[in-house]
């Protein structure tokens, strides 16, 4: 997908401009539609592209969806939510493929000053509350009621900006990881922090040369996996104990539980498949020099569309129809 350039630019210069854009593109976020047949991807130019499956070849562009990078996206049955610098937007899936599609609404959390425009790095849906949690550069978790569109609470505790969120739906509780090197557990019913894990202070996890930041986390019942500056580590939440240190030197930017495996990606072109014991089962190379996001399409409405996609420091989204190899790549 090409970003608009002034019509007076000569054709040759326009082609150079577009080639340079693709060369310097970063895809920060991805999200599958609830029907499982569409993939949305957002880049550093504020653009969102919608790819249709099967095929996934010709994207439908949503021009300049945001003025800055599209850092995060999540989806409900009816809406796609996208986050950028200081704002979150909602798009109707029923309208999103139409030419000239506009956002349904745009909201800004209540920041401390009108001059503050922090990035929103992470979005998280809480279905039991019908709410959306936003977190990022202002070090807070903001909760928005999706029925009224109002912000109902702000959870404070992090001392530096927040990179990632994960939901423990059974409780309900939310985990957040940030630049301050902590993972914090929040009880949404009490609207308070109930547990703090300072990952970098555990000698077996610490890697001072990489920093203390937490860039990714995921949960499965009483278990959590997180990584970033510290080593990618599996934790038992009730005891706050690290149980498995995964032997990965490069910092990881995305992690998820998948069946009896843990999938991770970060610096380097590979999607890593880990046994819970810490054994590296496979490294599957992709086309990007570094990866920032993984997205699993497991919608029961479209079992034929079950794929894994990976994206990061390039204009391409890699598609894995089998976890063992990259089937093909999409391009903005």
Those residues whose C-beta lies under 8 Å from the C-beta of residue 226, and which sit 6 or more positions away, are 177, 183, 199, 214, 216, 217, 218, 232, 233, 235, 255
Strand-by-strand arrangement of the 79-83 sheet: 72-75, 79-83, 88-92, 105-107
Peptide bond into 54 cis (omega under 30): yes
Per-residue pLDDT of the chain (332 residues; tens, 9 = 90+): 444 455 555 667 777 877 888 889 999 999 999 888 899 999 999 999 999 876 656 688 787 899 999 999 999 999 999 999 999 999 999 998 887 889 999 999 998 777 778 999 999 999 999 999 999 999 999 999 999 999 999 999 999 999 999 999 888 899 999 999 999 999 999 999 999 999 999 999 999 999 999 999 999 989 999 999 999 999 999 999 999 999 999 999 999 999 999 999 999 999 999 999 999 999 999 999 999 999 999 776 666 678 999 999 999 999 998 888 999 999 98
Q: What is the pLDDT of residue 323?
A: 87
């Amino acid at each position: 997908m090409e970003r608009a350039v002034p019509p007076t630019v000569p054709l040759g210069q326009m082609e150079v401009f577009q080639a340079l854009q693709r060369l310097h593109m970063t895809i920060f976020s991805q999200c599958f539609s609830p029907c499982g047949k569409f993939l949305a991807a957002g880049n550093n130019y504020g653009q969102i592209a919608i790819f249709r499956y099967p095929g996934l070849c010709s994207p439908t562009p949503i021009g300049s969806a945001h003025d800055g990078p599209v850092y995060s996206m999540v989806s409900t049955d009816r809406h796609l939510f996208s986050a950028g610098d200081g704002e979150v937007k909602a798009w109707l899936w029923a309208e999103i493929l139409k030419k000239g599609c506009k956002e349904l609404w745009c909201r800004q959390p209540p920041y401390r000053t009108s001059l503050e425009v922090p990035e929103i790095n992470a979005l998280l849906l809480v279905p039991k509350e019908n709410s959306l949690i936003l977190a990022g550069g202002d070090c807070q978790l903001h909760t928005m009621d999706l029925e009224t569109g109002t912000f109902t609470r702000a959870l404070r505790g992090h001392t530096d900006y927040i990179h990632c969120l994960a939901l423990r739906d059974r409780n309900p509780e939310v985990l957040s990881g940030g630049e301050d090197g902590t993972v914090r557990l929040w009880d949404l019913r009490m609207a308070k922090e109930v547990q703090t894990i300072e990952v970098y202070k555990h000698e077996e996890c610490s890697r001072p040369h990489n920093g203390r930041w937490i860039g990714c986390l995921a949960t499965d019942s009483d278990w959590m996996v997180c990584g970033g500056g510290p080593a990618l580590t599996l934790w038992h939440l009730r005891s706050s104990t690290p149980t498995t240190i995964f032997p990965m030197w490069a910092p990881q930017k995305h992690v998820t539980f998948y069946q009896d495996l843990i999938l991770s990606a970060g610096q380097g072109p590979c999607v890593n498949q880990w046994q819970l014991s810490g054994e590296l089962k496979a490294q599957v190379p992709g086309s990007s020099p570094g990866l920032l996001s993984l997205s699993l399409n497991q919608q029961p409405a479209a079992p034929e569309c079950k794929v894994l996609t990976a994206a990061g420091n390039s204009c391409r989204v890699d598609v894995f129809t089998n976890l063992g190899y990259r089937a093909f790549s999409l391009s903005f």
